[in-house]
Amino acid sequence: MESGDVTERVTLLSHQLSMVETSTAYDAITRMQLQENISTLEYENERLAQEARQQREDAVYHRDFFYRLLEATDQLNLAIADIHQDYIRTVNVSEEIFIWDIPPVLVFNMAQMMWSFALRSLIM
Protein backbone atom coordinates (compact mmCIF):
# COMPACT_ATOMS: atom_id res chain seq x y z
CA MET A 1 0.00 0.00 0.00
CA GLU A 2 1.15 3.40 -0.76
CA SER A 3 1.44 6.02 1.89
CA GLY A 4 -1.25 8.19 0.22
CA ASP A 5 -3.67 5.25 0.25
CA VAL A 6 -2.92 4.59 3.90
CA THR A 7 -3.46 8.23 4.80
CA GLU A 8 -6.69 8.30 2.83
CA ARG A 9 -7.83 5.09 4.48
CA VAL A 10 -6.95 6.42 7.95
CA THR A 11 -8.81 9.65 7.22
CA LEU A 12 -11.86 7.69 6.03
CA LEU A 13 -11.80 5.44 9.11
CA SER A 14 -11.35 8.45 11.37
CA HIS A 15 -14.34 10.13 9.72
CA GLN A 16 -16.43 6.96 10.09
CA LEU A 17 -15.41 6.67 13.74
CA SER A 18 -16.35 10.30 14.31
CA MET A 19 -19.76 9.67 12.71
CA VAL A 20 -20.31 6.60 14.92
CA GLU A 21 -19.35 8.59 18.01
CA THR A 22 -21.70 11.42 16.99
CA SER A 23 -24.48 8.93 16.31
CA THR A 24 -23.87 7.29 19.68
CA ALA A 25 -24.00 10.66 21.40
CA TYR A 26 -27.27 11.52 19.64
CA ASP A 27 -28.68 8.13 20.61
CA ALA A 28 -27.73 8.72 24.25
CA ILE A 29 -29.30 12.19 24.23
CA THR A 30 -32.44 10.82 22.57
CA ARG A 31 -32.66 8.02 25.16
CA MET A 32 -32.32 10.54 27.99
CA GLN A 33 -35.06 12.72 26.47
CA LEU A 34 -37.30 9.70 26.00
CA GLN A 35 -36.71 8.65 29.61
CA GLU A 36 -37.59 12.17 30.79
CA ASN A 37 -40.74 12.09 28.64
CA ILE A 38 -41.67 8.69 30.07
CA SER A 39 -41.16 9.98 33.61
CA THR A 40 -43.29 13.05 32.87
CA LEU A 41 -46.04 10.91 31.36
CA GLU A 42 -45.98 8.51 34.32
CA TYR A 43 -46.23 11.44 36.73
CA GLU A 44 -49.11 13.01 34.78
CA ASN A 45 -50.85 9.64 34.53
CA GLU A 46 -50.65 9.18 38.31
CA ARG A 47 -51.82 12.75 38.91
CA LEU A 48 -54.81 12.25 36.60
CA ALA A 49 -55.61 8.90 38.23
CA GLN A 50 -55.55 10.58 41.66
CA GLU A 51 -57.77 13.38 40.36
CA ALA A 52 -60.22 10.82 38.94
CA ARG A 53 -60.29 8.97 42.29
CA GLN A 54 -60.95 12.26 44.10
CA GLN A 55 -63.76 13.13 41.69
CA ARG A 56 -65.34 9.70 42.25
CA GLU A 57 -65.15 10.20 46.02
CA ASP A 58 -66.63 13.68 45.67
CA ALA A 59 -69.42 12.35 43.46
CA VAL A 60 -70.30 9.69 46.05
CA TYR A 61 -70.29 12.31 48.82
CA HIS A 62 -72.46 14.72 46.81
CA ARG A 63 -74.86 11.94 45.83
CA ASP A 64 -75.22 10.88 49.47
CA PHE A 65 -75.68 14.50 50.53
CA PHE A 66 -78.34 14.98 47.84
CA TYR A 67 -80.24 11.89 49.02
CA ARG A 68 -80.04 13.05 52.64
CA LEU A 69 -81.33 16.44 51.53
CA LEU A 70 -84.22 14.79 49.67
CA GLU A 71 -85.01 12.71 52.74
CA ALA A 72 -84.91 15.82 54.95
CA THR A 73 -87.19 17.61 52.49
CA ASP A 74 -89.65 14.72 52.60
CA GLN A 75 -89.57 14.75 56.39
CA LEU A 76 -90.09 18.50 56.36
CA ASN A 77 -93.06 18.15 54.00
CA LEU A 78 -94.54 15.49 56.27
CA ALA A 79 -94.04 17.72 59.30
CA ILE A 80 -95.70 20.63 57.51
CA ALA A 81 -98.60 18.38 56.55
CA ASP A 82 -98.89 17.28 60.20
CA ILE A 83 -98.85 20.90 61.33
CA HIS A 84 -101.51 21.70 58.77
CA GLN A 85 -103.68 18.84 59.99
CA ASP A 86 -103.18 19.91 63.62
CA TYR A 87 -104.15 23.44 62.70
CA ILE A 88 -107.28 22.22 60.92
CA ARG A 89 -108.25 20.13 63.94
CA THR A 90 -107.46 22.97 66.35
CA VAL A 91 -109.64 25.57 64.68
CA ASN A 92 -112.27 22.98 63.79
CA VAL A 93 -112.63 23.89 60.13
CA SER A 94 -113.44 21.76 57.14
CA GLU A 95 -110.80 19.63 55.42
CA GLU A 96 -111.07 21.71 52.26
CA ILE A 97 -108.83 24.42 53.71
CA PHE A 98 -105.42 24.49 52.05
CA ILE A 99 -102.06 25.29 53.55
CA TRP A 100 -102.16 28.92 52.39
CA ASP A 101 -105.09 29.48 54.76
CA ILE A 102 -102.71 29.01 57.70
CA PRO A 103 -101.40 32.35 58.94
CA PRO A 104 -98.20 33.04 56.97
CA VAL A 105 -96.21 33.86 60.11
CA LEU A 106 -96.97 30.41 61.54
CA VAL A 107 -96.01 28.67 58.30
CA PHE A 108 -92.80 30.70 57.99
CA ASN A 109 -91.75 30.13 61.60
CA MET A 110 -92.44 26.40 61.46
CA ALA A 111 -90.70 26.00 58.09
CA GLN A 112 -87.71 27.94 59.35
CA MET A 113 -87.46 25.73 62.44
CA MET A 114 -87.84 22.54 60.40
CA TRP A 115 -85.20 23.57 57.81
CA SER A 116 -82.83 24.53 60.59
CA PHE A 117 -83.35 21.12 62.19
CA ALA A 118 -83.01 19.31 58.84
CA LEU A 119 -79.78 21.08 57.94
CA ARG A 120 -78.28 20.44 61.38
CA SER A 121 -79.09 16.75 61.06
CA LEU A 122 -77.45 16.67 57.61
CA ILE A 123 -74.27 18.26 58.86
CA MET A 124 -73.93 15.83 61.77
Q: In this predicted model, which residue has the larger pLDDT, 96 or 91?
A: 91
For residue 5, the Cα-to-chain-centroid distance in whole angstroms is 73
Specify the pLDDT at position 95.
Answer: 47
pTM listed for this prediction? 0.48
- Mean pLDDT, residues 86-107 taken together: 61
Whether residue 101 is predicted with pLDDT greater than 70 in this model: the reply is no
- Least confident range from 37-41, 62-66, 71-75: namely 71-75
- Mean pLDDT, residues 84-108 taken together: 63
- The SS3 assignment for 81 reads helix
Mean pLDDT score of the chain: 81
- Stated as kind and residue range, the H or E segment containing 88 is helix 3-91
